[in-house]
A = this chain, B = another copy of it.
Amino acid sequence: MQIAEPLQIAIDELSKLPTVGRKTAQRLAMHLLKSNTKDVENLVRAIGDLKTKLRFCRICFNLSVDEVCEVCKNPKRDHSTICVVEDINDVMAIEKTNEYNGLYHILGGVLSPLSGTGVESLKIKELMQRLENEKIKEVILALNPDTEGETTSLYIAKLIKPMEIKVSRIARGIPVGGDLEFTDEATIGRAVLGRIII
């Protein structure tokens, strides 16, 4: 097989990305070849900047350009509430809703004995330090509703209990647009338990 080397290399590199197979990599490479130079330069710069311009916020471990992230820096946000999440994807998911105006704390994972993630590898110690030093009124635990997430939530809730800070957990229930008939029993059970007076 004789294909121009830069094209072959680009296909090889692109196919290393998740969700991108050989065929898609070839399609992406052909697309980039046909794109105008400025668009490709923008893409290349954006990817490069990911590694060079971003670091973790000193306070909440969110991604940040500066030492302290935009959320922690913003005086308009509610600095008395911390939302504890597993990773940065969760921050993005919550930010997209525009429903939350407090701060975050990114654990960097959840307790999982099977994959060897213990208390020390998560930012739990750093969370407790924040709770001691900042004036926090409420901690919202927004971890995934699976075994590891629930365990981690319970562990953190237990640690915070003696501190006279309100600890809440995001509601489990039927998703918006969901259908009672096709919802599993565990979810319906939680929805009934978590019912709200209207």
Q: Which residues of A are at the interface with B, using a C-beta cutoff of 8 A?
A: 1-7, 9-10, 12-14, 16-20, 24, 26-33, 37, 39-44, 46-51, 53-54, 62-65, 69-71, 74, 88-89, 91-92, 95-96, 98
**Which of chain B's residues have a CB closer than 8 A to the CB of A20?**
28
> Is the beta-carbon distance between A29 and B50 smaller than 8 angstroms?
yes
Kindly name the residue among A12, A19, A96 whose own CB sees the greatest number of chain B CB atoms within 10 A.
Answer: A19
Q: How far is the CA of A71 from the CA of B3 in the complex (A)?
A: 8
Q: How far is the CA of A62 from the CA of B71 in the complex (A)?
A: 51
Closest CB pairs A-B (n = 8): A13-B46, A6-B49, A4-B63, A10-B46, A1-B95, A6-B53, A13-B43, A2-B70
**Which of chain B's residues have a CB closer than 8 A to the CB of A51?**
32-33, 37, 40-41
> Is the beta-carbon distance between B43 and A88 smaller than 8 angstroms?
no
> Is the beta-carbon distance between B33 and A65 smaller than 8 angstroms?
no
**Which of chain B's residues have a CB closer than 8 A to the CB of A88?**
30
Q: How far is the CA of A88 from the CA of B154 in the complex (A)?
A: 58
> Is the beta-carbon distance between B4 and A49 smaller than 8 angstroms?
no
Q: How far is the CA of A17 from the CA of B18 in the complex (A)?
A: 14
Known: A18-B27, A40-B47. A62 touches B4 (CB 8 A): yes
Cross-interface CB contact of A18 among B31, B42, B62, cutoff 8 Å: B31
The closest CB in chain B to the CB of A7 belongs to: B63
**Which of chain B's residues have a CB closer than 8 A to the CB of A69?**
2, 4
Q: How far is the CA of A71 from the CA of B50 in the complex (A)?
A: 38
**Which of chain B's residues have a CB closer than 8 A to the CB of A91?**
3
**Which of chain B's residues have a CB closer than 8 A to the CB of A13?**
42-43, 46-47
> Is the beta-carbon distance between A74 and B44 smaller than 8 angstroms?
no
> Is the beta-carbon distance between B16 and A33 smaller than 8 angstroms?
no
> Is the beta-carbon distance between B6 and A50 smaller than 8 angstroms?
yes
